[in-house]
Amino acid sequence: MEQTYNGMPAGHLTGVTWQKSRRSNPSGNCVELARLPHGAGFAMRNSRDPDGPVLIYTYEEIAAFVGGAIDGDFDNLLA
């Protein structure tokens, strides 16, 4: 696998398994995550554009985001 970077084409990430949330809906407004090899973090892509650009996040960044979501830190964004 080549060096990962934000905006790289998802198709260049070989050997990853993309996962979509069970909460995804039929309208296709979903993102998918894949764990990068060797503990290098995670990649995120738009499920409607599987070969489009990805965003790369460290484990710590994903953990902070998920923790904030669990704690309700973003609830006001849904109103």
Mean pLDDT of successive 10-residue stretches along the chain, which has 79 residues:
86 92 79 92 93 96 96 92
Cβ contact 19:32 at 8 Å: yes
pLDDT for res 78: 84
pLDDT for res 68: 97
> For the chain, how far is it from start to end, CA to CA, in angstroms?
41
Neighbours of 54 (CB within 10 A): 27
pLDDT for res 69: 94
pLDDT for res 57: 97
pTM of the model: 0.83
SS3 assignment, position 42:
strand
